[in-house]
Chains A and B, each alone.
Chain A
């Protein structure tokens, strides 16, 4: 009882957090699960339709393209967005001067509301006066259609996404790097290890857990890409940027088919759960 009283404040905070999670995270998820098996207009009593919503979602003409685009986006985002922040963090960690200033510069994009960042890139990508084509033109290189061609649109969205999320990832990596005991580097240096060997034999093993965690988080985040196609391309050209989350939005708010949107959401969640399970298993093995 005394222990309980001593920790009362902590329990208070815990209850508040649990309440918020239940109301704003778990309850909607359960509702969405139920909804995916119902046909509803949100007014009349819903009708149970079994797997009809799932079948209709799979039968949608954009279903296959949406998944392919999402996987492609995720892979590209991993190639750019996973390695780049780690490399930047390594550089920042090594710097002796202007470290605080550069950290601020790297983190700055995170402080911009996503909508502002996306609108900024809309101007960057403008095929006429846009910044990127002006630079290419200045360098006497051929200009690109960026968002206006089905061959470059998805990559253009990956660049936006990487830029927007780079700051937080870099800071997390930096924190992990700064937790590595300096003695390990000193020992490696005494053994004659150069910078690449130090990274390979000290940095990467010491940050393995955080690298795995970030990999999982990034897969989960990028597979839910929505704002970029919604704001910049409307899913086009030629459906090249329709993502699963964007298709879900179309089902719910263009077609007012909430059950079908719920079914697609469930499919996306199942796919993400697979990654989460793999990550948990890998982490557990690593800790064992």
Chain B
């Protein structure tokens, strides 16, 4: 009884919050001058990361000094974007003036009117035109701009260099084909109990998400061009599942345990016993900072045989309830903290000084524009970890075209969890049957959505 009561309460409290007040309001205007304004900003680092938090607070103080009349209040909810509280917070007037949204949710947030049209404020971001056009495009609907791209990554093959060496593989020549991945995984699994050659997700929508990554890499599609039918029951889709099935049951190189969600695979990577996984460079950052992995052990290389790579990332958006003054101040904060070379999050020298892993190429939001090049120079100049471990990824990523997530991504990922968990949990699983069933379900879902 208590379990569901909690669930209902969380939902209900959030929903009932619609009746409550709205967010921060501008303060009364000082006589003769511009109105004082207060904004709330998301993503202050947690107290458990005191150095990062201190750096953030210094940035807030510096910003307020440079923008008299603007008061910035930070919130430290972690993770910054929480789908459980996003809608209720926004409805209840508790959402920050400046908040972050992952790429998977762009369409929903924009379509539901939960982000402000910031077209007239984009000039506040000085390097706006250097931001990757394809990412700006994702945040533009009917000619109106709804967000500032903040992070971009494409998929690669994250691998444990130390395990490669231990298994007699050369860490400097990581696999470039799926056949090579399979061979390397077998050797790593051969190191003994507890070693997993290749790790993969199987539930909580992450299985479907990674199926999509692997499918895109092989040149397949999730949906037909008109978006009305499923297209994953294809030779590419079958190849993805058959490879995983054979690695799990023929090679025995994927361990005997299902890795259900993000955290379980990250924990396994952090334990130093997983050889490889599909992932972006931020996997390395998370494994090192959150799961105690040894930074020197990890590297990332190009997505094997990839014809396209699922784009991932996030953007900052402005609360639709913000006043024009708040929106302007919010955009200036985004520019100051997230988009200025040598400042805020791009102050790599400070990052190195406080012990952050600097050097992972985990954000290509500026691509190879002048700003992007300047950032890359700064990052390499202040690197605190071996950047050469990531060079093959950087080289490969530049040649692989990015590809956006399909519409109704979360619904499709939930459906695709089933074939992923099927091949990883049943030796007698039929790839054809699993994909056909998933296709039927996806088509029914798409038809219902119209």
Contact call A245/B425, Cβ cutoff below 8 A:
no
Query: What's the nearest-Cβ distance from chain A to residue B90, in Å?
Result: 6
User: Contacts A234-B417, A235-B203, A245-B4; is A61 near B193 (CB within 8 Å)?
Assistant: no
**A258 within 8 Å of B (CB atoms):** yes
A227 to B6 alpha-carbon distance, docked (Å)? 10
Contact call A226/B4, Cβ cutoff below 8 A:
yes
> Which residues of chain A have C-beta atoms less than 8 A from B11's C-beta?
28, 32, 252, 258, 261
Contact call A236/B207, Cβ cutoff below 8 A:
yes
Q: Which residue of the partner chain, among A149, A217, A253, contacts B1 with CB atoms under 8 Å?
A: A217
**A209 within 8 Å of B (CB atoms):** no
Contact call A233/B4, Cβ cutoff below 8 A:
no
> Which residues of chain B have C-beta atoms less than 8 A from A225's C-beta?
3
> Which residues of chain A have C-beta atoms less than 8 A from B445's C-beta?
59-61
**B48 within 8 Å of A (CB atoms):** no
Interface-facing stretch out of B39-47, B256-264, B347-355, B397-405: B256-264
Contact call A254/B113, Cβ cutoff below 8 A:
no
**B282 within 8 Å of A (CB atoms):** no
Closest to B320 in A: A43
Residue-wise, chain B 183-199 has the 8 Å CB interface mask toward A (1 for contact) of 00000000001100000
> Which residues of chain B have C-beta atoms less than 8 A from A41's C-beta?
87, 112-114
Those of A13-61 within 8 Å (CB) of chain B:
24, 27-29, 31-32, 35, 41-44, 55-56, 59-61
Query: What's the nearest-Cβ distance from chain B to residue A288, in Å?
Result: 28
Q: Which residue of the partner chain, among B204, B417, B424, B448, contacts A59 with CB atoms under 8 Å?
A: B448
Those of B420-446 within 8 Å (CB) of chain A:
421-422, 424-426, 441-442, 444-445
**B302 within 8 Å of A (CB atoms):** no
A232 to B261 alpha-carbon distance, docked (Å)? 10
Contact call A236/B87, Cβ cutoff below 8 A:
no
**B108 within 8 Å of A (CB atoms):** yes
Q: How large is the interface on B (under 10, 10 to 19, 20 to 34, 35 or more residues)?
A: 35 or more
A3 to B240 alpha-carbon distance, docked (Å)? 77
Query: What's the nearest-Cβ distance from chain B to residue A174, in Å?
Result: 20
Q: Which residue of the partner chain, among A226, A232, A239, A256, contacts B83 with CB atoms under 8 Å?
A: A256
Query: What's the nearest-Cβ distance from chain B to residue A119, in Å?
Result: 11
Closest to A61 in B: B441
Query: What's the nearest-Cβ distance from chain B to residue A256, in Å?
Result: 6
User: Contacts A234-B203, A245-B7, A254-B83; is A145 near B425 (CB within 8 Å)?
Assistant: yes
Q: How many residues belonging to A are interface residues under a CB distance threshold of 8 Å?
A: 54
Contact call A254/B414, Cβ cutoff below 8 A:
yes
Contact call A258/B444, Cβ cutoff below 8 A:
no
User: Contacts A32-B11, A236-B260; is A43 near B113 (CB within 8 Å)?
Assistant: yes
Residue-wise, chain B 83-119 has the 8 Å CB interface mask toward A (1 for contact) of 1101110110000000000000100100011100000
Contact call A237/B113, Cβ cutoff below 8 A:
no
Most buried by B among A27, A128, A253, A265: A253
Interface-facing stretch out of B12-20, B126-134, B159-167, B371-379: B12-20
Q: Which residue of the partner chain, among B83, B112, B206, B425, contacts A238 with CB atoms under 8 Å?
A: B425
User: Contacts A42-B15, A234-B203, A239-B418; is A227 near B3 (CB within 8 Å)?
Assistant: yes
A149 to B260 alpha-carbon distance, docked (Å)? 12
> Which residues of chain B have C-beta atoms less than 8 A from A43's C-beta?
90-91, 112-114, 320
Query: What's the nearest-Cβ distance from chain B to residue A16, in Å?
Result: 18
Contact call B113/A128, Cβ cutoff below 8 A:
no
Closest to B1 in A: A221
**B154 within 8 Å of A (CB atoms):** no
> Which residues of chain A have C-beta atoms less than 8 A from B255's C-beta?
128
A232 to B193 alpha-carbon distance, docked (Å)? 23
**A148 within 8 Å of B (CB atoms):** yes
Contact call A249/B417, Cβ cutoff below 8 A:
no
Q: Which residue of the partner chain, among A31, A220, A238, A255, contacts B15 with CB atoms under 8 Å?
A: A31
> Which residues of chain A have C-beta atoms less than 8 A from B140's C-beta?
none
Q: Which residue of the partner chain, among B108, B258, B415, B448, contacts A236 with CB atoms under 8 Å?
A: B258
User: Contacts A56-B448, A128-B194, A254-B410; is A236 near B114 (CB within 8 Å)?
Assistant: no
- Top 7 A-B residue pairs of the complex, sorted by shortest distance between their CB atoms: A28-B12, A234-B203, A234-B204, A42-B91, A41-B112, A224-B4, A61-B441
- Can you offer 21 A-B residue contacts whose CB atoms are under 8 A? A24-B12, A28-B15, A28-B16, A32-B15, A41-B114, A43-B113, A43-B320, A44-B113, A59-B444, A217-B1, A224-B4, A226-B4, A227-B3, A234-B203, A234-B205, A236-B421, A239-B417, A245-B7, A250-B410, A250-B414, A261-B11
Which of B's residues lie within 8 Å of A, judged by CB?
Answer: 1-4, 7-9, 11-13, 15-16, 18, 83-84, 86-88, 90-91, 105, 108, 112-114, 193-194, 202-207, 255-258, 260-261, 320, 410-411, 414-415, 417-418, 421-422, 424-426, 441-442, 444-445, 448
Which of A's residues lie within 8 Å of B, judged by CB?
Answer: 24, 27-29, 31-32, 35, 41-44, 55-56, 59-62, 114, 126-129, 145, 147-150, 217, 220-221, 224-227, 232-239, 245, 248-250, 252-256, 258, 261, 265
